[in-house]
Amino acid sequence: MPQVVCAIDWSMTLEYLKVFLCWPLVALVLGLLFLFNFKHQISNFLSRVTEGEAYGMKFKANSPQDSALTKDTGHVIPENDTLKWVTENPQKAIDEYNKVNNSYKWERAMNFIYGTQIDLLEALSKRGDTGELYVNLAFFLDEHQRRIGNSNYQMADYLNFLQLLGFIISEGDSHKLRVSITPYGLSFLSYIKANYADTWNKKPY
């Protein structure tokens, strides 16, 4: 009886394994398995979510009991004293609104601002009302260009981003233009130092 020889092309086999075991595919399979096995729990949690953050993955959800009450009544149970408190404390209500609104704007700014621009704001904060000459701030742009590896981003755009956010102001003529940080810019620095204590000055570029 002839002997059957099974020749395996190991190099081809390894190539197939690379394809089937590559990280994106493995992550997709694991993700699908997770969703399939916990779909009811995930659906229940998502139905109770009231707050969330994109990148920090911080979410806040009602307890199952609160959600049950909400579902039964068809609306969130109101806090009866809220309207009364706002009516009696209009300035405090405005202050609270501004605090939440500013936090939202500062979080968005933190997502887009460059690390060198934060360094620039920090340097301006130490100069106070005196500010700094426009030309002397070129150091921060040069550092940004060095880190990112190109020089396409120009000084006008680099500072205009901070000015549009209300973090800095420019004063004087074109030859002696001075740039200083605004109270709003100082508040932004205080916010990120408090909420990103270990990373506020470690953003890239």
Q: Tell me, yes or no, whether 111 and 52 share the same domain.
A: no
Q: Does residue 100 sit within a domain?
A: no
Q: Does residue 84 sit within a domain?
A: no
Q: Does residue 98 sit within a domain?
A: no
Q: Check residue 69 and give its pLDDT.
A: 43
Tokens of 187: 């508040």
Q: Tell me, yes or no, whether 63 and 109 share the same domain.
A: no
The boundaries of the domain holding residue 24 are 10-73
Q: Give every CB contact of residue 45 below 8 A, 6+ residues apart in sequence.
A: 61
The answer to whether residues 86 and 96 touch, using CB atoms and an 8 Å cutoff, is no
Q: Check residue 101 and give its pLDDT.
A: 86
Q: Does residue 86 sit within a domain?
A: no
| Residue where the block lists tokens 């309207």 | 83
pTM of the model: 0.58
pLDDT in tens, 17-28: 555 555 555 566
| CATH (domain of 173) | 1.10.10.10
Q: Check residue 77 and give its pLDDT.
A: 45
pLDDT tens per residue across all 205 residues of the chain: 454 444 555 555 555 555 555 555 556 666 666 666 655 555 555 555 555 555 555 555 554 445 444 444 444 545 567 777 778 888 887 888 888 888 899 999 999 999 999 999 999 999 988 999 999 999 999 999 999 998 888 898 999 999 999 999 999 887 789 999 999 999 999 999 999 999 999 998 9
How many domains does the chain divide into? Answer: 2
Q: Check residue 89 and give its pLDDT.
A: 82
Q: Check residue 113 and give its pLDDT.
A: 94
Q: Give every CB contact of residue 165 below 8 A, 6+ residues apart in sequence.
A: 105, 109, 113, 185, 188
Alpha helices, DSSP H, located in 38-154:
39-48, 64-73, 81-88, 90-112, 115-127, 138-148
